[in-house]
Copies of this chain bind each other. A is one copy, B any other.
Amino acid sequence: MSNEVNPTVRRANVVGLGLIGGSIARALHDRGWHVTGSDEDEAIAADAVARSFTDAVGTDPDAEITFVAVPVLAGVDAVKAALHDTNGIVTDVGSVKAPICAAITDPRFVGGHPMAGSERDGLDGADPELFNSAIWVLTPDDDADDLVFTDLTAIITSLGSEVVAIDPARHDEVVAVVSHVPHLTAASLMGVAADRSIQHAAMLRLAAGGFRDMTRVASGRPDIWLDICTENRSAIVAALTHLIDELGQVRSAIDDGDQERLLDRLSRARTARQNLPSRVVDPESLAEVRIPIPDRMGAAAEVFTLAAELSVNIANFEVVHVAESNRGIAVVLVDLTHAEVFRGGLIARGFRPSVQALT
C-alpha cells in the first residue's frame, strides 16, 4: 500500500538511519512526505517503519530527494548509489565536505552539513525538531544546477533550518575551528581531569557547570570522530596548531605575570563571544533583493555563497521564473542593515540586483 505512488505526496529517501538520518526522516514524515529509509542494519530500517518514522524500507526510485546520512568515509559510495538509483536531488550530511564534493561531479548532487547534534545516538535520539533554528550548510560546486540548489534550499528551509552556502574547502576549514577542534579540546580537558583525578579524588566532584558544559560533547561516540579526523586532517591539524600556540601564549603571559597581555587576550575573546551572531531575524527590518539570474551554471548558489562571505543573513530565498524565459529572478530577503553591502558585492560579481525595503 504505502509503496504505491500518490502523485500529490512528495517522496524522499533517507539512507542511513542514525541520529541525523532518523531525525530527517521524522521531520519529513511529520510534514507529510512519503519517506523510504534504508540502513546497513536492516533491523534498524524495519524498526524505523514500525515506529512510523518512515513509510517503507529500501530505495524509492521516484523520490525527488535522497538524503545520504552515513558515516563520513562511506559517503561517496552511498551518494553514487543514490544518483544511480534515482533521478532526483541527492545531498549528504557529512561533517567534511571537500573530499565528497570533489569526488561527485553530478549536477544533481549538492553537499550539505546540518550543524545540529545531540548527545543521543541512533534512532532513539531521532528528533524531528533537531534542525529547527539550526544552520544547515550547503556546499555547492561551480557545477551545481540552479534548480537543484534552490529546490534543496527550499526543502531544508521547510525543516526550520537556515541555509548558509559556502565553498566545500572553506567549510572544512571553518568546522575544523568551530566544531572539530572544540570537540578534541573537550576530550583533552576531560582527559587531563581524569588523569589528575587519580591523585585528587575530589577532582571530578568539583567539576561544576562550566566544566560540564565544556566537556559535554566529549560524551559523544568516538568512532565518528576517527573518520572526521581522517577526512579533515590538514584543517584540523592547522587549527589545533593555532589553538596550542594560543594556549602557549596564555601560559607564558601567566608565567611572566604579564597582566596586560593576558587582559588583552581575555577581553578580545569576551568581545568576540558577546558578538556571536544571533540567529534571530527581526521581520520588521527586512529588505527584498531581486537578482536576475544569468543563464549559467551555479549562479543561484553563487548568490548564496556571496551572502555568507559578506556575513549577510538570508531570511528567505526563492527563484521566480519569468514567463517565456529560461532565466529566473532570485528573490532574497535579507536584514535591512545588510542590504547595501550585499548589493555592492553582487554588482562586483556581475549581478544586477535591485533592493527594496519591506515596511
Q: Which residues of A contact B (CB under 8 A)?
A: 115-117, 134-135, 137, 164, 166, 170-171, 173-175, 177-179, 181-197, 200-223, 225-226, 229-230, 233, 236-237, 239-244, 246-248, 250-251, 254-255, 257, 259, 262-263, 265-270, 272-277, 308-311, 313
Q: Please, which residues of chain B bring their CB within 8 A of the CB of A310?
A: 201
Q: What are 19 A-B contacts with C-beta separation under 8 Å?
A: A116-B209, A177-B193, A178-B203, A183-B210, A185-B214, A188-B243, A194-B268, A194-B272, A195-B242, A202-B311, A213-B214, A214-B217, A216-B273, A218-B266, A226-B263, A229-B254, A240-B250, A244-B247, A247-B247
Q: Is B207 a contact partner of A239 (Cβ separation < 8 A)?
A: no
Given A254-B237, A259-B230, decide whether A174 and B200 contact each other with a Cβ distance below 8 A.
yes
Given A189-B185, A193-B272, A247-B243, decide whether A175 and B206 contact each other with a Cβ distance below 8 A.
yes
List 5 other contacts, CB 8 Å, given A191-B269, A230-B257.
A210-B217, A216-B273, A222-B270, A226-B259, A233-B254
Q: Please, which residues of chain B bring their CB within 8 A of the CB of A200?
A: 170, 173-174
Closest chain B CB from A49 CB (angstroms): 30
Q: Is A240 a contact partner of B267 (Cβ separation < 8 A)?
A: no
Q: Which residue, A187, A194, A311, has most C-beta atoms of chain B within 10 A?
A: A187
Q: Please, which residues of chain B bring their CB within 8 A of the CB of A273?
A: 190, 215-216, 218-219
Whole-angstrom distance between the alpha carbons of A214 and B205 in the complex?
A: 19
Whole-angstrom distance between the alpha carbons of A134 and B270 in the complex?
A: 25
Q: Please, which residues of chain B bring their CB within 8 A of the CB of A268?
A: 191, 194
Whole-angstrom distance between the alpha carbons of A315 and B32 in the complex?
A: 52
Whole-angstrom distance between the alpha carbons of A130 and B242 in the complex?
A: 36
Interface of A is mostly: helix
Q: Please, which residues of chain B bring their CB within 8 A of the CB of A135?
A: 205-206, 208
Q: Is B188 a contact partner of A277 (Cβ separation < 8 A)?
A: no
Q: Is A204 a contact partner of B277 (Cβ separation < 8 A)?
A: yes
Q: Please, which residues of chain B bring their CB within 8 A of the CB of A262?
A: 225-226, 229
Q: Which residue, A174, A183, A263, has most C-beta atoms of chain B within 10 A?
A: A174
